[in-house]
Structure 1
Amino acid sequence: MAVAGILALLYRITPTAVSQGPAGTVTRNYLAEDHKGRRWFVKAYPPGTDVAEDRQALALGETARRAGVPVPAVRRTVSGDVIASAGGLSVSVAEYVADAQTAEGGLSGGRWAAVGETVGRLHRVLVGHPAGPPRPVAARAVCDVARAGRQLEELLARWAAAPPAPDGFAAWCAHTSKQRLAALPEVAARLEKLPVTLMTQVVHGDLASPNLLLRGEKVAAVIDFRPPGHRSAAWELGRIVLDPRTVLARPDDWIPGLARAVGAYRAANPELPAEDLLAVPRVAAGYLACSVYPLSEPLNDPAAVTPELEAYGRARHEATGVLWERLDEAEEALRDVLR
């Protein structure tokens, strides 16, 4: 059954137009307009998707929305479900967020504080989620150097068995994997300066730049939650405010911008320990240094390698160096905010 048919039958939405929407990581997305001129964002899940997990993710977003976090309202089916399935197709429907852009263009101006405040409010809300209260974990589990070493060694063994062509992104990935593996002892030494433990709680789970929509200098919407799970709050904040594209595009502004974001976060969520907030740039740098994404993509999913992914991969690598280079300066700026 086509998307238009599901909308009409199970949502009582009479679409006058259905068009391809922005690409999802695993979903096929559509924009639908009904006879009243209202627009809807329709997410179609691939066959075999565990829609039970996606229901949990949608419910997590609804929890945040009820508490005032800007999350698009989910349209329920005629039977009250958040996901409809028919004819081998499963979809969810939400309000379309008009006149907004993703945070992939980077943060600047008032956006730093707006994003910090929104993430702080989100975390404050999710502290009370039924999946469990906040709990400390060893900082080494947040930036797992040992795991990174195993993954990089496996990647290099695969590259040795099937050497890439000398030019191109695959060759860059193989070379960068060697560099990353060689740098891990230094990364481990730098991460020794983290607190012994960091606080984890239920978080968004995938708060990357494509999942944060901005309108002017305000946050328009937080989208695409993952199912409830505990992750470091400092890791999630750093992932969005220290996106590699922001760090590279704002060489003179990312440190004061980070300070504004952390200050706004703390005002919205004063319960997260100050030592966790001070750790944000170190965790962000350590996480990037320990990640094999997208170095593994030419081997694991060659079809996913696009010019955009190549540019993003190179940006992640370059931004990791910038974060380490200016880490002391960034932490000093945060100490001023957190005093």
Structure 2
Amino acid sequence: MPTPTAHTAAPDPATELGALLETAYDLDGVRLTRLPAGQNTINYRADDAGGVLFVKHYLPGTDLAAEREAIGQSRLAGEHGVPVAVPRPTRTGGTIATTDQLAVSVWEWMPGRTVEDGLTPGQQEAAGRTLGLLHTAFADHPAAAGGESRRLAKWRTTDPAAKATATVDQLLDSIADRPTPDSFDTEAVRTLTERRAALGHLPGLIAGLPDGMTTQVLHGDYSAVNLHFDGDTLTGVLDFLPPAPELIAYELGRIAFDPRTVVHDPDWIGAGVRLVDAYRRANPHHTAADTTGCARIALIQLTTSLYGVKDHYLKPGLLQDDLDAFWLLRHEAATRLLDQLPDVEQALAEAAGPQ
């Protein structure tokens, strides 16, 4: 009779995570609950006798130096009155604790919740005002000195439509090779075919961008999923990115014409203008081009992005069902923005007044 082979059980990630929290943060016996949010980190709610904390578990290969820079951005914004989560320092005063297998940061638990179906008028005001405050705080950030938006330079010096079209064709070929298409495959074929046609508008959209747009350091990912609200009060701005020069109009257009607003709000143009007006009042450093060009920037970004559907067929994400739904939402938003861009830009220009 053969001798049974001994197998060593793989370490339990939750056990290892709990041990790291104890040794690095003096958090003994915390109860961890995984949260159904986050595509680039695994996130947990941590309960212990001292209260509730937020734990961010970084995936293997994460650039931890960049993550530490991002945490520094959050702290800087907080010093200027932006409501941000406060990172809990490790025993040695660091912001990220590591072992050979794990890397985590721990944060205070922020009040409020994310809004998933479009911001209310009061929330739009708060989001615009807070973004204006944040951009004012970062206006002189040294990381943007002499820099330009890599995104804008890429749009103007390469052929983004050709690259995106090639990826669309690759995805359509992949779907055609599937023996039994499912319901998402059917939707993907429809939306990718529509997107392929929309990409033909890119050269004109890029050529129509206004001159004089401001480049500076931004939040980097100022979107609805990274904002916490309690009613109409914005209680937390989360998940900053490392400092890099980028267009004000990119970040402003992205939140003013958030896909949830564009798809779910019957008066989405008015909603976007409302947010931009609140931003304009809070940031004295903006130019007219920053506000009047923000919808066009948002449309170009949406049109060139295949986020969600590309992941589905090439490299599924942590929460791929969410990404599938987000692709469909963003595609619908891009379609509406393209169809009504002249009306949107006229409304933004009228709101800005004589320049």
Q: TM-score, normalised by structure 2?
A: 0.86
| 3-state SS, counterpart of residue 102 of structure 1 | coil
CA drift of 1:181 comes to 2.7
Contact 2:253 2:298 in 1 (8 A): yes
Q: Distance in 2 between matches of 1:277 and 1:96?
A: 33
| 3-state SS, counterpart of residue 79 of structure 1 | coil
In the alignment, which residue of structure 2 is the partner of 1:58?
Answer: 71
Contact 1:15 1:35 in 2 (8 A): no
In the alignment, which residue of structure 2 is the partner of 1:49?
Answer: 62
CA 1:258/1:157 → structure 2, altered by over 3 Å: closer, same or farther?
closer
Q: Does 1:33 align with 2:34?
A: no
Contact 1:297 1:304 in 2 (8 A): no
Q: Distance in 1 between matches of 2:101 and 2:170?
A: 40
Q: Distance in 2 between matches of 1:134 and 1:266?
A: 24
1:92-127: per-residue Cα shift (whole Å, max 9, x none)?
0110013x1113221112111100011111111112
Q: Does 1:125 align with 2:137?
A: yes
1:168-196: per-residue Cα shift (whole Å, max 9, x none)?
32343344333323332323223432214
CA 1:23/1:265 → structure 2, altered by over 3 Å: closer, same or farther?
same
Q: Does 1:312 align with 2:326?
A: yes
Q: Does 1:298 align with 2:284?
A: no
For this pair of structures, how many residues does the alignment match?
A: 336
Q: Does 1:183 align with 2:224?
A: no
1:286 to 290, 296, 300: 300
In the alignment, which residue of structure 1 is the partner of 2:86?
Answer: 73
Contact 1:75 1:94 in 2 (8 A): yes
CA drift of 1:141 comes to 3.5
| 3-state SS, counterpart of residue 105 of structure 1 | coil
CA 1:138/1:196 → structure 2, altered by over 3 Å: closer, same or farther?
farther
Q: Distance in 2 between matches of 1:120 and 1:303?
A: 32
CA 1:174/1:146 → structure 2, altered by over 3 Å: closer, same or farther?
farther
Larger CA deviation: 41-50 vs 15-24: 15-24
| 3-state SS, counterpart of residue 221 of structure 1 | strand
CA drift of 1:131 comes to 0.9
2:98 to 85, 97, 100: 85
CA drift of 1:87 comes to 5.1
Contact 2:67 2:241 in 1 (8 A): yes
1:243 to 258, 267, 286: 258
CA 1:256/1:157 → structure 2, altered by over 3 Å: closer, same or farther?
closer
| 3-state SS, counterpart of residue 309 of structure 2 | coil
Q: Distance in 1 between matches of 2:317 and 2:30?
A: 33
For structure 1, which runs of at least 5 residues remain unmatched after alignment?
Answer: none
In the alignment, which residue of structure 1 is the partner of 2:6?
Answer: none
Q: Does 1:326 align with 2:350?
A: no
Q: Distance in 1 between matches of 2:20 and 2:309?
A: 39
Q: Distance in 2 between matches of 1:130 and 1:297?
A: 35
Q: Distance in 2 between matches of 1:148 and 1:93?
A: 41
Give me the identity figure in percent. Answer: 35
Q: Distance in 2 between matches of 1:59 and 1:148?
A: 36
Larger CA deviation: 77-86 vs 5-14: 5-14
In the alignment, which residue of structure 2 is the partner of 1:192?
Answer: 207
CA drift of 1:197 comes to 5.2
CA drift of 1:333 comes to 2.2
Q: Distance in 2 between matches of 1:77 and 1:140?
A: 39
Partner AA of 1:21 in structure 2: L
Contact 1:138 1:197 in 2 (8 A): no
CA 1:20/1:259 → structure 2, altered by over 3 Å: closer, same or farther?
same
In the alignment, which residue of structure 2 is the partner of 1:96?
Answer: 109
| 3-state SS, counterpart of residue 111 of structure 1 | helix
In the alignment, which residue of structure 2 is the partner of 1:9?
Answer: 23
Q: Distance in 1 between matches of 2:148 and 2:30?
A: 51
Q: Does 1:146 align with 2:162?
A: no
1:211 to 213, 217, 226: 226
Contact 2:24 2:97 in 1 (8 A): yes
Cα RMSD of the aligned pairs, angstroms, is: 2.4
CA 1:337/1:299 → structure 2, altered by over 3 Å: closer, same or farther?
same
Question: In terms of Rg, which structure is larger?
Answer: 2
